[in-house]
Amino acid sequence: MDVNFDLMKSAFPLLIAGAGITVEITALSVFFGMLIGIIVALVRMSDFKILRWLGNVYVDFIRGTPLLIQIFLVYFALPSIIGHRVDAFFAAISACSINSGAYVAEVFRGGIQSIDVGQMEAGRSLGMTWWQTMRYIILPQAFKRIIPPLGNEFIAMLKDSSLVSVIGFEELTRRGQLIIARTYASFEIWMAVAIIYLILTFTVARLTGLLERKFDTK
Amino acid sequence: MKERQDIIKITGLQKSFGDLHVLKGIDLYIKEKEVVVIIGPSGSGKSTLLRCINYLEEPSGGEIVFDNIPLNGEANINEVRKEVGMVFQRFNLFPHMTVMENLILAPMKVRKTSRKEAEELAMTYLKKVGLAEKANNYPDQLSGGQQQRVAIARALCMKPKAMLFDEPTSALDPEMINEVLEVMKQLAKEGMTMVVVTHEMGFAKEVGDRVLFVDGGYIVEEGTPEQVFDQPRNPRTQSFLSKIL
């Protein structure tokens, strides 16, 4: 078969703009996901039974259902409850953030629980509160250990954010679909899209590695 | 001379972990400036007893009063903990902080001391344990003995009224045990109230005002070091001492 490189080249600027939006959704979702995740992780380790139960239900529900269905729930099902339609950008960010939060909560929990219990005991025995000990002693040590799994979460979200194309949100995958609808050049465009995803995920993996080494030297 | 007060009063202390009944009724009064050494076989409950005093283990029954404050769980535990220093078997220094940061954290966050004041205080205690030149090192750059001396200095920076030592030399190489014991002896000489769980019988004899032998969840025998070591009355004490001395 003939590969039309000119077409690939001319499609790149449009696709790069879409990639920018993909990065934006991913960054926002992982950021909000981290906020949700740290709260849920702490709640799930707390003494409040009801909160702990709610945290468990949240994590189990999100991890046990497909992200695609979660996007549908926010975009199609939520409007019928709240009575007006939901903006695609809002739906994309909130579905991805809520999804990411559940995975990040597990990452945080693993990181916190990997810290020796003697650290908490030492902090508490000095008269510090549970929260002060978390804040100054446990979390700073846990953060260092969760950089690699957080990097993985970021990479997973970069790829999974392609699912928001189904609600018409114009990120990288949706841009590809639209160009193909016009040019019928599915091989060239999907290859170009794949290469851009690969560059994005590879870059994040390298950045994670650098960050890891930076924190390793204290 | 003023009569010394009982600073720690333990009555009817019980502790269970599930079905395991570790402490079965402990009564123990400790006076100000007293050095109490707790000995006993492993699994006898001696560490659990110590950890109940500052509520690292929550008692299943009985009462603990520290300096006239009855301990009442999370409600007032931080009030008591800041007055009771604790030294652990495995040091538990904060590895992401320098020695100086380890020492000033609690005074600044709990006592609301200014950084300058906290650093001066920290320097005083680092000199006392002979480690002033290590202030800017990280814990993993120190030997075990040095780490434990830093841990003692960290507890002292809270200016505690009493100190608990949970097998402070058990994780150390033999040649480092003495440097830690020397610091503890010095503290005892200066009148610190101390409760020490240890296997160092030499230390118990030399420094202890009172020795408790704990076995099977009870205080089986107590008395001066001379009484307990030289004329143990209880057969279990005799058998324990014959094995370790």
The encoded tokens of residue A136 equal 């100054």
Q: How do residues B121-176 score in pLDDT, each as one tens digit?
A: 999 999 999 999 999 999 999 999 999 999 999 999 999 999 999 999 999 999 99
Mean pLDDT rounded to a whole number for chain B: 94
- Is B50's Cβ below 8 Å from some Cβ in A? no
| pTM of this structure | 0.85
Question: Taking CB atoms and an 8 Å limit, are A218 and B96 in contact across chains?
Answer: yes
Query: Percentage of residues in chain A with pLDDT exceeding 70?
Result: 99
Question: Taking CB atoms and an 8 Å limit, are A128 and B158 in contact across chains?
Answer: no
Query: Percentage of residues in chain B with pLDDT exceeding 70?
Result: 99
Window 147-186 of B: residues touching A by CB (8 A cutoff) are 154-155, 158
Would the pLDDT of A218 be above 60? no
Name every residue in A having a CB less than 8 A away from some CB of B: 116, 118-119, 121-129, 132, 136-137, 140-141, 144, 218
Would the pLDDT of A2 be above 80? no
How far apart, in whole angstroms, are the C-alpha atoms of residue A94 and residue A77?
14
Alpha helices in A45-87 (DSSP H): 49-64, 67-72, 78-82
Average pLDDT over residues A17-39: 95
More confident residue, B42 or B127: B127
Question: Taking CB atoms and an 8 Å limit, are A125 and B81 in contact across chains?
Answer: yes
pLDDT for the residue B2? 60
Q: What is the identity of the amino acid at B120?
A: E
A1: confidence class by pLDDT, cuts 50, 70, 90: low
Question: Taking CB atoms and an 8 Å limit, are A118 and B154 in contact across chains?
Answer: no
Q: How do residues B208-218 score in pLDDT, each as one tens digit?
A: 999 999 999 99
Longest Cα separation, chain A: 73
Taking alpha carbons only, the member of A92, A38, A102 closest to residue A64 is: A102
Instruction: With beta carbons under 8 A apart, name residues in chain A contacting B106.
Output: 123, 126-128
A215: confidence class by pLDDT, cuts 50, 70, 90: confident
Distance from CA of A13 to the nearest CA of B (A): 46
Q: How do residues B76-86 score in pLDDT, each as one tens digit?
A: 898 899 999 99
Would the pLDDT of B1 be above 80? no
Nearest CA in chain B to A140: B96
Exposed, middle or buried by CB within 10 Å (0-12, 13-18, 19+), for B186?
middle
Instruction: With beta carbons under 8 A apart, name residues in chain A contacting B88.
Output: 118, 121-122
pLDDT for the residue B161? 96
Would the pLDDT of B203 be above 70? yes
Query: Percentage of residues in chain B with pLDDT exceeding 90?
Result: 91
Question: Which DSSP symbol is given to A57?
Answer: H
pLDDT for the residue B74? 77
A8: confidence class by pLDDT, cuts 50, 70, 90: confident
Residues whose CB is less than 8 angstroms from the CB of residue B133 and which lie 6 or more positions away in sequence, other chains included: none
- Is B56's Cβ below 8 Å from some Cβ in A? yes
pLDDT for the residue B37? 97
Instruction: With beta carbons under 8 A apart, name residues in chain B contacting A119.
Output: 92, 94
Would the pLDDT of B75 be above 80? no
Q: Which of B50, B93, B109, B147 should be substituted to probe chain A, the one whose Cβ sees the most A Cβ atoms within 10 Å?
A: B109
Question: Taking CB atoms and an 8 Å limit, are B138 and A218 in contact across chains?
Answer: yes
